[in-house]
Amino acid sequence: MAEEKDQRYDPAVIEQKWQERWAANPRLYAAEPPTSSKPKYYVLEMLPYPSGQLHMGHVRNYAIGDALARQMWMRGYNVLHPMGWDAFGLPAENAALKNNTPPRQWTLGNIAAMKRQMQRIGYSYDWATEITTCLPDYYRWNQWFFLRMYEKGLVYRKKSKVNWCPECATVLANEQVVDGCCWRHEETKVEQRDVEQWFLRTTAYAQELLDGLDKLEGWPEKVRTMQRNWIGRSEGTEVDFFLATDDIVAGSTDAPAVFSPKPDTVRIRVFTTRIDTIFGATSVQLAPEHPLVTFFASADAALKAQVDMLLAEQKKAREAGDVGAIEKHGVPTGKFAVNPYNGERVPIWVANYVLMEYGTGAIMSVPAHDERDFEFARKYGIEIREVIQPAEDSVQNENGAKLLPFLSEEGILVNSGQYNGLPCAEAQKRLQEVAARSAFGEGKIIFRLKDWGVSRQRYWGTPIPMIHCERDGVVPVPYDKLPVILPEKIEITQQGGSPLARVPEFVNVTCPKCGGPARRETDTMDTFVDSSWYFYRYTDAHNDKAPFDPAKVQYWFPIDQYIGGVEHAILHLIYSRFWTKVMRDLGMVKNDEPATRLFTQGMVIKDGAKMSKSKGNVVSPDDMVARYGADATRMYALFAAPPDRDLDWQEDGVAGVSRFLGRVWRIVTRHAPIARGAGSAQPSSKTQEGGAPLRRKLHQTIAKITLDFEGRWHFNTCVAAIMELVNELQDADARLSAGEIPAPVVRELLTTLVLLLAPFAPFLAAELWEELGGEGAILNAPWPKSDPGLAREDEIEIPVQINGKLVSVVRVAAGADSKTTEAAALADGKVKARTAGKAVVKVIVVPGRAVNLVVK
RNA sequence: GCCUGGAUGGCGAAAUUGGCAGACGCAGCGGACUUAAAAUCCGCAGGCCUUAACCGGCCGUGGGGGUUCAAGUCCCCCUCCGGGCACCA
C-alpha cells in the first residue's frame, strides 16, 4: 500500500520541498549588478493591488512573465524580475469603515497573504527589490517628483468642474468615469462639482506622447490605436467671428474679401477643422457655459431661463453617461456674428451639443458639410448652403439630388467668393494664411488629452507636499522636510472631504517662507502616480537619497518586456509614458519610453463571463493549487489558450494537466537510473542507434518551443508539443525499459524534457532535475539547443490532390525534387485508378508540400 | 457612429509562408489490470450516407460572392459577439 503511494506523483510533497529550498536561497532570483557580463533582460508584470487574494487573472499574468523570466535565465541573461504592491487606494478605507481595521494594517496584512500565495505558486521574483507604494520610503519620492514638476511648471492648481462620486465622496479623474458612473461603483452616477484641484501638465507632452507611439513597434497595435484616440489630435484653424453691433451692415452681395471690424469689437473665437467650408457657415453655436452666453443671459431673463434648462439637461445627460444620445437642442440668442471673410451676419445660437471644454467652446455651424450641424439646421430651419462641389457623383442619390451633408474633402469650393474653384486642401491653407495675416485667426492643433487631475479628497494616498499660507499663498514643502508622513491615527468616516483635514497636528504648520501659521494641503495623490514610475524603483529599491541611481536605471531600462491586462492600455500606460518623458527632461533617465515591448494578456473567464463575485463564477487559485498543485494550475493557465486571448477556465482541464505531469513524473523517475548510469557519455551518431526517431522528435520539440519564446508566445502549443514528446516516450516505454535505447540517448531525452518543462512547471522540473543528477539549480542550466540534423525527417508525406481534392498521400525522401515527387504521385495506385482514361492537363508540384493534378 | 479583436467538432483549441482541417487536451465510448472501485495502461472518436463488416462516397472552419491548380488562411459584401472611444467641431 505504502509502496503504491510512492509510485504516485504528489505535487503537494514536491512543491513544499522546493518552496522551502527556494525560500532558503533568497539570492536565487536576484539579478546581477550592471557589471555583469551577461546581457540584461528586464521582464516586468504589472504590480497588483493588494486586495487580499490573487485571482486567476493574476495567476495567468504572472505565469506568462514567469515562464519568460525562467527561460531567459536559462538562456544566460541577467534577468531582473521584480514584484511589488500598488498599495494605496480606496478599498483600504472602505475596509477600515467596514471592519474598523486601520488601512495600513489591512493593506499590509493583504500583502503578506498575497505574497504567501505567490511564493506557494513558485513565481521567480527577487523579493529583495520588493516595493510597497504605501510606505514612506516609496511615497516620499512621489512627493519629491511632485515638487520637481512644480518647479518645472508642470504642476498647477485650478478650480475646475470635476467628476464627483457620491459613494466615494471624492473626485474622480476623467479616466475613472465609466459610462457616467464611478469606475468602482458601476451603479453610482458621477456628479459635476467645482473644486480647487492639483493638475499635472500631461498636455505639455501630448504631441510627443502621440509621436512616440509610432516607434513603439513592440506594443500591440490595439493599445497604440487606443492611445492615439485618447490623445485625439485635431489639426484646424481658430478663427474669430465678430459680434455684430448696430453699426455693422449685413453682408452685401459683393462682400469684402476680408471684413474689418472696429477695434473694440467683441470677438467670438471658434475652432474648425474645415475652414474651407466657412462660406457655408449659417450660424455660430456657443456652449451653454460660454462666457458670452452668460453675458447675453444676464440682460435677457427669458434667454437665461432657456440656457439654464440646456445646462440642466446637459448635466443630467452627463450624469447618465449618454451625452451623445441626448437630442440636439438650441436656443437663438437674438444676436448676430459676422463672418470675418465676407462680413456676412449669421445668427448666434446656444446649443447643448457644443462642449465648453473642447476647442474654444464655440463653433461655426456648416449644415451642408457636417452631420450634427445638418441635423440641427434641419430642426430649426437654419439655411443649408453648399459650398463644396464634390469631386465624384458618389454623393448623389438615385434622383440626382445631392446627399447632404457632404463631408468629403475631395472637391472644390463654390459659393465662396474669391476662393471659388480651389480644392479643399488648398483653400484651407489660403484661408488660414488670410486669417493669420489679418489677425483674426490662426492655424491650431488641439488635443482631446487633458491635464491630469491628481488631487483626491481621500486619506489613503500620498500627501501632496504643499502648504497654504495666508501671506505667501501656496508654498511647497522644502525637500529636506520630506517625506510628509501620512498620519496613522485617524478616523475614517463616510463624510465627504478629506479625512486629513480633521487632523490638526497634520494640518497646522508654520509657513516655510514666513514662519507664520499655515495649513497643510489635505488632498492626497491619485494612486496612478504611484504606478507611473514604480518600475524604476525596482532597480534601486532601497535608495534613501534619491528615487533611484540613474546609472542603474540606465543599465536596466527600457523594460524589455512588460506584461499586464489590456484594461491599463490607456490610463496607466499613458501616465507611465508621461512620467518617463518628464524624468528624461529632468535629466534622470536617458530612455524616452518605459518599455520596449508590451504584452496584454486576455481575461480569464468562466462559463462565458468574466469571473466576478456577483456572477458567482470565481475560481480560487488556492483551491486549484490545493487540489492539483501549483505546477498544474499555472501550466493549465498557459495551455488552455494563447496568452493574448481570453481563457475559459475549465477545472477538468487542470485535472488533465495534472495527469500529464504525473505521466512525466513516472516516465522520468522510472528511467532515471538508466540516464544516471550514462554518466557524461554523449549519444553517438544517430545511424547506429535505435533512438533516432525519439531524438528527432526531441529536437523538433526544442526548436518549436525555442522559436515560440522568441515572440509569438503561443505557450499553449508549447505545452502541446511537450505532451506529444511525452506521448512518444510513452509509446517507447517498453523499449526504454528493455535497454534497447542507448543510455546516453535516454539521458539526453529525459534531461532535455525536464529542461523544456522548467519554464512552465518549475517545481516538477526542479524535482526531476535533481532525480536525474542534474548539477546546480535548473534555473542556471543552459536552455537546450536543437540540432537541425537530428530534427530533420528522412521521409515526408506528400498529399496528392486531383482537381484540388485529396486523393492519396505518398512518401518521398525529405528534400526530394519536383520530378521525383511528381513521379511518386503518378505512380500511386489510387492516383492511377483516378486518372485512368483521363487526360492529365497539368501537374503542380510544390516540393515538400503538395502535388495537385488537373485532370479532365 | 468611429477604432479594434474575434467566430473552426459536444467543449478549450491547433494549422507561424495559401498546400492532408481538427495537433494537444477535456468530456465521451470500448478494452486491459482489479473481487470491486480509484489510479494507470491500450484503443476509438467532425457530421451525414452506404455496408453485416471492411471498403467506399458526400458534406464541413459564422453567411454570400470572388481570386487560385489549391482558401480556415487572400479580396469584396453581410451577420453576430467581445473590447475601447464617443455630441471632439
The ipTM value here is 0.95
Angle at A224 between CA A47 and CA A706, to 5 degrees: 65
pLDDT digits (tens, 9 = 90+) for A415-438: 999 999 999 999 999 999 999 999
Phi (first) and psi of residue A795, to 5 degrees: -130, 145
Residue A633 has pLDDT above 70, yes or no: yes
Q: Comparing C-alpha atoms, which of A48, A127, A130 is closest to residue A91?
A: A48
A315 touches strand B (CB under 7 A): no
Domains of chain A: 31-133+531-601 (3.40.50.620), 142-201+451-528 (no CATH), 233-447 (3.90.740.10), 622-791 (1.10.730.10), 795-855 (3.10.20.590)
Residue A539's pLDDT band (cuts 50, 70, 90): very high
In this prediction, residues A686-693 reach a mean pLDDT of 70
Nucleotide nearest to A177 (CA to C1'): B85
A274 touches strand B (CB under 7 A): yes
Angle between helices A621-628 and A651-677 (to 10 degrees): 40
What's the Å distance between residue A838 CA and nucleotide B70 C1'? Answer: 20
Predicted pLDDT at A233: 93
Strand B nucleotides, any atom under 7 Å to a protein CB? 3-5, 11-16, 19-21, 23-27, 39-43, 69-71, 82-89
Q: Which residues contact A365 (CB under 8 A, 6 or more apart)?
A: A281, A282, A283, A284, A285, A349, A373, A376, A377, A382
Residues 645-684 of A with CB under 7 A from strand B: 645-648, 650, 652-653, 655-657, 659-660, 662-663, 666
Given a contact cutoff of 8 angstroms between Cβ atoms, the answer to whether A111 and A54 are in contact is: no
pLDDT digits (tens, 9 = 90+) for A489-499: 888 765 556 78
What's the Å distance between residue A7 CA and nucleotide B35 C1'? Answer: 23
Residues 204-233 of A with CB under 7 A from strand B: 221-222, 225-226, 229-230, 232
pLDDT digits (tens, 9 = 90+) for A788-831: 999 988 888 899 998 888 888 888 988 888 889 999 888 888 88
Residues 461-500 of A with CB under 7 A from strand B: none
Residue A111 has pLDDT above 90, yes or no: yes
E strand spans, A607-717 = 609-610, 647-648
Share of chain A above pLDDT 70, in %: 92
Angle between helices A206-215 and A221-231 (to 10 degrees): 160
Predicted pLDDT at A48: 96
pLDDT digits (tens, 9 = 90+) for A326-371: 778 899 999 999 999 999 999 999 998 898 889 999 999 999 999 8
Task: Characterize the bridge pairing of strands A840-846 and A850-855.
Answer: antiparallel
Instruction: Tell me how crowded residue A333 is: count the other CB atoms within 10 A of its CB.
Output: 22
In this prediction, residues A133-147 reach a mean pLDDT of 98
Given a contact cutoff of 8 angstroms between Cβ atoms, the answer to whether A231 and A206 are in contact is: yes
Residues 543-582 of A with CB under 7 A from strand B: 566-567, 569-570
β-partners of residue A610 are: A605
Q: Which residues contact A634 (CB under 8 A, 6 or more apart)?
A: A59, A63, A66, A121, A122, A760, A761
What's the Å distance between residue A655 CA and nucleotide B27 C1'? Answer: 12
A311 touches strand B (CB under 7 A): no
